[in-house]
Amino acid sequence: MDDILGPVLSQLRAMWSRRWAGLLVAWIVAAVAAAAVWRVPERWEADARVYVDTQTVLRPLLSGLAVQPDVDQMVSILARTLITRPNLEKLIGMAKLVPPGANQQVFDRMVEQLQAGIQIAPAGDRDLYLISYRDTDPQRAKQVVQSLVELFISSTAGGKRRDSEQARAFIDEQIAEYEKKLEDAENRVKEFKLKNFGYSGMAVKDRYAQLSLLSDELTKARMDLHAAQDARDAIQRQLSGQDPVLLTEVAPTPGFGGTSEWDARLDTLHKQLDDLTRRYTDSYPDVVETKRLIARIEAEKKAAQAKRLAQLGVSASHISPPATNPVYQQLQVALGESDAMVASLQSRANDLEGQLNQLRATAVHAPEVEAEMSKLNRDYDVLRHNYDALVQRREQAAISEDVDANAQMAVFRVIDPPHVLRKPVFPGHVALAALALLASLGAGVVVSFGLTQVFPRVESAADLRQLTGGLPMLGTISMLVDARRQRRERVGVLAFVGALGGLFFVSGVWIVWMVMHPAVV
């Protein structure tokens, strides 16, 4: 605790030794501040409240028939833009704020003063506006507020009429421009349709849906084809393990039996070929595949006969008609049906693959055509929509002009007429005098503290130790104060207190006098 209080007490003792300099500075600052406060004029505030009634009977009656401006927003924007330079120049003329023959500099300073002092803001309710202005002359402040109220009311009606006329002229120009754009768009659509005449009108999403469907069907057909081929291969493996005939004896009988199983397969394929040739040409894939199967089976038949004769080691003239193997015959019939199924599925897969390739080839160019057509139609629809909207707006603008000329969409009521407040705005002379007293005391303290820093004094052993950086001290000698010196110090303290009290007394008398004699509006 001593480490904190020690330096503080030492600093206070040092400042006490410089108290007269600080008091002198305080008196000087107080005198200068009093003169400055006396010369500063007080500022007075004048205000008025205006109510804008936008809920008139015409608004619901004209709903959908005329363009109804947002009166609330229009009034709000007008309130924010009322202090623009053109309006302020008009205000200066209305309130006669600048004497006749004043130069441009005086005029510009008055405009800047008005811009800084005028305040227009909502007063609680959104339809209630507070207009205020501060000036050193209370009557001039009141006159400015009165002129602002008149300008605020008159600007609304005139602004609506000008806006309606400008809107009507702008709409007429836009309609003429959009008519030309519509003709150009119609010609572009017509030329594009003629250029791409006969092209499929299928949408892009439908085309890709058909591609997906054909791809799925082709995948299924190929799976069915692989399954049929596997089944045929299985029948062929079973068939290779069976003997085509049941041999009983060898005799020199003419002819060679046991070929009825090959004939059964050939009969099945010949019937299928006859059916296909009645419906398709010889170059159709199913017809070609069936002929290939018939030729392959006939070749297998001849090879099987030759192989059997070679195994028996006899000629065909010495073989008696053998008995047919029924299992082998059934497998041959099943193999013929399987071959027919494979040929049919192969033909279907080829047909689907051809359709898919053709659709893919057309799909490459189709999106470009459809995208260009969609763009042309979209541009035309937008232009047509805007054109129709402009024509409708032109009719509504005509009705709106009549409404603006013969009716009021908003009613202005001055709730509180312009008046000046009874007291000047803060800070007035009284507040400034109190602040001047505090400033003078602060200046005295700052000067006393500054002198102790610029011209330091050693008041104690601790100050000397701190000043020398902790060098060892041989000792201290206490000063013996006699009665005469004590009386002189007491007189000095009483004189300082009296001088300080005089500062407070004079400042207090001045403040009381200003309170008792306020300015009269």
For residue range 430-439, list pLDDT tens digits in order.
Answer: 888 888 889 9
Q: Are 390 and 175 in contact (CB under 8 A)?
A: yes
Comparing 49 with 13, which gets the higher pLDDT? 49
Q: Are 362 and 208 in contact (CB under 8 A)?
A: no
Comparing 75 with 284, which gets the higher pLDDT? 284
Domain ranges (residues) in the chain: 2-41+425-516, 44-154+410-420, 204-393
State pLDDT tens for residues 457-501: 776 667 677 777 777 777 777 767 678 878 888 888 899 899 999
Beta strand ranges found along 356-451 (DSSP E) = 411-420
| d(C-alpha 15, C-alpha 450), whole Å | 9
Comparing 174 with 361, which gets the higher pLDDT? 174
| d(C-alpha 80, C-alpha 162), whole Å | 19
Start-to-end Cα distance in the chain? 59
Beta-carbon contacts of 14 under 8 Å, excluding residues fewer than 6 positions away, are 452, 456, 457, 459
Examine the pLDDT at 51 and tell me if it is beyond 80.
yes
Calculate mean pLDDT across residues 211-238. Answer: 84
pLDDT-based confidence at 257, cuts 50/70/90?
very low
State pLDDT tens for residues 77-107: 766 777 888 888 888 888 888 887 778 888 8
* Structural domain 44-154+410-420, CATH architecture: 2-Layer Sandwich (3.30)
Q: Are 292 and 316 in contact (CB under 8 A)?
A: no
Closest CA to 295 of 277, 310, 273, 313: 273
